[in-house]
């Protein structure tokens, strides 16, 4: 019983160890450790700076999101909850990061765990919806076939109806149950209630988008401002790839395709996409270290 009690008491530490172990295993297996050559260090350094600011804003966004639903936490605990669990996205399955975040806040504030986890998951759906909206507008104006443009717009409209309307949400739940044989709960959100969290989510996605644009420029890639949509849409594809820890592989493949579509050579696009994994991992590690340091200082 003492062993079980120790696990319950120190669950966050074990959660962190498991997350880091899966991260190390995945990086070694996928051989993502690459070093850039022939780069513009001014753009390169700026890309990291903007990325770190984006991570900081995303860490604070949890406070804003919870406040919108009547749960009040400090900025300090928001950063700790985000930072201490950010690497759990590399653990197989897509829900560990939400469970870990909710678990920490529950321990600190005694708020209902299920509510916290569901709010965190809801915020991801809002995030996906906003990114798809932003990127749909970008895809409409670039030179691709009308069919692809139509499919993208239709997908965004379908996502909007499923998330924000009861009728289409019920249909989607029924289809998922029939296809998978399992009852997988899809969030049904109120547009009006969630409107107040849009600015903070848009803020960190714009920072990530601009940071990647600077990264591409640091490799002397000939990219225009439409490249601002490349990283957000590839990240959403990574989230949708349920069986890819941290979106590994899916995100990079999407980036290669988008960069090549924008006129970047396939070789350079592959180099940028591969290095972007280590680049964004540096941002995640920044969040992890920041959360850890704040947690130690808080004690």
pLDDT at 9: 45
pLDDT at 1: 46
Contact yes or no for 188/172 (Cβ under 8 A): no
Residue bearing the bigger pLDDT, 78 or 234: 78
Residue bearing the bigger pLDDT, 240 or 272: 272
Could you tell me the pTM of the whole model?
Answer: 0.82
Q: What is the pLDDT of residues 42-99, one digit of tens each?
A: 999 999 999 999 999 999 999 999 998 889 999 999 999 998 888 777 766 566 777 8
Average pLDDT score over residue span 253-277: 86
Angle made by CA atoms 120, 205, 229, in degrees to the nearest 5: 130
What percentage of the chain has pLDDT greater than the value 70? 76
Q: Give the separation between CA 203 and CA 210, rounded to whole angstroms.
A: 11
pLDDT at 5: 40
Contact yes or no for 9/254 (Cβ under 8 A): no
Angle made by CA atoms 112, 113, 118, in degrees to the nearest 5: 105
Q: Is the pLDDT of residue 7 over 80?
A: no
Q: Give the separation between CA 299 and CA 291, rounded to whole angstroms.
A: 12
pLDDT at 81: 92
Q: Is the pLDDT of residue 293 over 70?
A: yes
Q: Give the separation between CA 284 and CA 33, rounded to whole angstroms.
A: 16
**pLDDT class of 256 with cuts at 50, 70, 90:** confident
pLDDT at 14: 47
Q: Give the separation between CA 261 and CA 68, rounded to whole angstroms.
A: 39
Give me the DSSP letters along 175-198. Answer: HHHHHHSS-PPPP---HHHHGGGH
**pLDDT class of 17 with cuts at 50, 70, 90:** very low
Q: Is the pLDDT of residue 193 over 80?
A: no
Number of other residues whose CB lies within 10 A of the CB of residue 3: 7
Q: Is the pLDDT of residue 16 over 60?
A: no
Q: Point out the least confidently predicted range of 135-144, 152-161, 267-276, 281-290.
A: 135-144
Look at residues 245, 221, 280 and name the one whose alpha carbon lies nearest to residue 58: 280
Average pLDDT score over residue span 193-203: 89
Q: Give the 3-state secondary structure of residue 32.
A: coil
Average pLDDT score over residue span 107-132: 87
**pLDDT class of 147 with cuts at 50, 70, 90:** confident
| Core vs surface per residue 13-25: b (16+ CB within 10 A) or e | eebbebbbebbee
Say if residue 4 is exposed, middle or buried (CB neighbours under 10 Å; 0-12, 13-18, 19+): exposed
**pLDDT class of 6 with cuts at 50, 70, 90:** very low
């Amino acid at each position: 019983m003492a062993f079980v009690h120790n696990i319950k008491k120190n669950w966050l530490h074990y959660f962190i160890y498991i997350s880091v172990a899966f991260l190390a295993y995945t990086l070694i297996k996928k051989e993502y450790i690459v070093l850039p050559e022939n780069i513009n260090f001014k753009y390169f350094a700026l890309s990291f700076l903007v990325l770190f600011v984006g991570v900081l804003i995303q860490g604070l966004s949890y406070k804003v999101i919870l406040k919108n639903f009547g749960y009040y936490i400090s900025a300090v605990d928001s950063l700790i909850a985000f930072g201490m669990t950010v690497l759990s996205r590399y653990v197989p399955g897509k829900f560990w990061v939400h469970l870990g975040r909710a678990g920490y806040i529950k321990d600190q504030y005694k708020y209902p765990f299920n509510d916290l986890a569901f709010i965190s998951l809801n915020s991801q759906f809002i995030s996906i919806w906003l990114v798809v909206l932003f990127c749909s507008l970008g895809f409409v104006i670039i030179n691709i076939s009308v069919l692809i443009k139509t499919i993208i717009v239709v997908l965004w409209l379908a996502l909007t109806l499923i998330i924000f309307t009861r009728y289409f949400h019920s249909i989607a739940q029924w289809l998922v149950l029939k296809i998978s044989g399992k009852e997988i709960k899809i969030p049904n959100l109120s547009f009006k209630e969630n409107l107040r969290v849009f600015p903070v989510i848009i803020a960190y996605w714009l920072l990530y988008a601009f940071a990647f644009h600077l990264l591409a420029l640091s490799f002397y890639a000939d990219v225009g401002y439409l490249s601002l949509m490349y990283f957000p849409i590839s990240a959403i594809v990574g989230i949708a790839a349920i069986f890819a820890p941290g979106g590994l592989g899916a995100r990079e493949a999407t980036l290669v395709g988008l960069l090549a579509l924008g006129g970047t050579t396939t070789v350079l696009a592959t180099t940028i996409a591969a290095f972007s994994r280590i680049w964004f991992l540096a941002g995640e590690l920044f969040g992890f270290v920041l959360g850890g340091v704040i947690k130690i200082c808080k004690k």
